[in-house]
Structure 1
Amino acid sequence: MKTGLGLCGYACTPWIWHRLTQYLTPPLDLQLVTWPTALLPHFHTVSDFVDWLIQDEIKNHHYDFILGHSMGGIVAIQMAAFLPKIKQVILLDSFITPPSRFFQNLFEPSISKELQNQIINMLNLEKEHYSPRLADALRKINLSGLFSQLHCQVTALYGDRGYSDLKQLASQLRWSSELLDKIALGFVSNANHFPMLENPQATAEILLKILNNPNAG
């Protein structure tokens, strides 16, 4: 059984994975990280999350892969740049460069109001713990330069926002040709920023395909 580390995004809790895990068959040993609430006001950069993880989660453990949603994926990339033992990173709607406005939405319109409200309530509750400086840093982040330092396989998955033109979707990420060469890119249908909640079955199928064949996206 493969062992993975699941990293939440900004103002998110491990609750975001609960619909996904039921579709991960055969089951994965996915260790879900809860960000330390008491320390979050003092985490002003992504590096603060990386330092905490290395001390508390990574130092004495082995993980076959890291799955990061949104900010969690950015944390995973920065960590992989400094820890060669990390061999596989999967990004889930993580923006490693500032994307176009096309991607700046939360929900697939067809998801239930109940689920939308659950997500919004989580975000509103959790964001109170976070540093305003961190939110500003995330909006401006550009990790393009880190990819030359990576020794791992990176796959990035994004909600397709209801569009089927994969070339058009890829262009909206505003990646350089170098990034497109280094990262396996895939899209989850009928999903926006929370694919694991909006379309958990499709997300799980793609994840299992990637883990069985790292070149798949």
Structure 2
Amino acid sequence: MKNIYLYGANCTKAVWDDLQLILDNPENLIIEYPHEITEKAETISDIAQWAYDTYGKDLNCNCLIGHSMGGLIALELVTKFGVRCEKVILIESNLKPAEKFYRNLMTPENMAIHGAKIIPMIKGEAPFYSDELKQSLQTDFDFTDLIHNSTIEIHGIFGDRGEANYKDRISDLNLGKDIENNINFHFIQNSCHMPMVENPKALAAILRELC
């Protein structure tokens, strides 16, 4: 079955490479945002509009899977554009500003392994995202209405930051109980914000189960 992947801000589709090799599903579609779109986009709605205008009914799928900003775009496509799917999978997508526990890119060990690839990618892509879009994702944002307005099954996948027994890992997302109750949470061992890079085997196992 076809699953669609949307990456986060300052990334490229290459962040999915290791995961896709493991999943080995030729039906998967990875959406790539043109720079001319991200340079002009002021909100995630602008990118969602581009995706809908570009792909239309081809966005209908089994699972819409988004990393960080990509997860928010996935929710917009479902709630505001009527894209049909069985599940939305949010990977490290913050609906509201999270606590310090979540404010890290990779574990020190994973940074030593993958940093030489990931950091240049982020620095290289950052100039192609408008200041308005960056601001909308960094300060006083609240995308919880996308959960309130959705009837789709929603899963949230987060890295455990190497602390599998941290008791506040859900409350630190600052979502409130009503939103928490609408999300099925999963945690990836020994990873932070980039589980598809840090622990793709564990992420693939969850996605195989869900999708």
Please give the range of the TM-score, normalised by the shorter of the 2 chains: over 0.9
* Cα contact 1:19–1:197 (8 A) shared by 2: yes
User: For residue 98 of structure 1, what is the aligned residue in structure 2?
Assistant: 97
TM-score (norm 1): 0.91
Contact persistence 1:161–1:190 (CA under 8 A): yes
- Secondary structure of 1:135's match? helix
Letter in 1 for 2:86: K
Partner of 1:190: 190
| Partner amino acid, structure 1, of 2:85 | I
Work out which of the residue numbers 56, 59, 72 in structure 2 matches 1:58.
56
> Identity of aligned pairs, percent?
28
CA distance in 1, matches of 2:39, 2:59: 27
The Cα shift of 1:52 comes to 0.3
Q: Does 1:161 align with 2:166?
A: no
Matched residue of 1:202: which SS?
helix
Q: 2:173 — aligned with what? A: 173
Q: How does 1:8-27 map to 2 (within 5 A)?
A: 8-24=7-23, 27=25
Structure 2: state its 5+ residue gaps.
Answer: none
Task: Show the counterpart of 2:119.
Answer: 120
Indicate if the aligned counterparts of 1:84 and 1:152 stay in contact, CA closer than 8 A.
Answer: no
Structure 1 stretches (4+) deviating beyond 4 angstroms?
A: none
Deviation (angstroms), 1:39: 2.2
Q: Which amino acid aligns with 2:78?
A: A
Aligned residues: 209
Distance 1:18 1:192 in 2: 18
Amino acid at match of 2:21: Q
CA deviations on 1:20-55 (whole Å, 9 max, x unpaired) are 112216x36220111111222110101001100111
The Cα shift of 1:87 comes to: 2.8
Kindly tell me: are residues 72 and 84 of structure 1, through their superposed partners in 2, closer, same or farther at Cα, counting changes over 3 Å?
A: closer
> Does the CA-based 8 Å contact 2:77-2:83 persist in structure 1?
no
Q: CA shift at 1:86, angstroms? A: 3.0
Distance (Å, rounded) in 1 between the aligned partners of 2:126 and 2:55: 23
- 8 Å contact 1:93–1:158 — kept in the other structure? yes
1:166-202 deviations in Å (ceiling 9; x for gaps): 5321121112111111110110000001000000101
Q: TM-score, normalised by structure 2?
A: 0.93
Contact 1:3 1:29 in 2 (8 A): yes
Shift of 1:97: 1.2
1:214 alignment counterpart: none
Q: In structure 1, how many angstroms separate the alpha carbons of the residues matched to 2:61 and 2:83?
A: 12
Unaligned runs of 5+ in 1: 212-217
- Asked whether 1:6 is paired with 2:5, we answer yes
Amino acid at match of 2:199: N
- 2: CA distance, partners of 1:146 / 1:159: 22
> How far, CA to CA, are the matches of 1:28 and 1:179 in structure 2?
34
Q: 1:112–1:97: structure 2 CA closer, same or farther, 3 Å change rule?
A: closer
| Aligned twin of 2:146 | 146
Tell me what 1:39 maps to: 37
TM-aligned CA deviation for residue 126 of structure 1 = 0.4
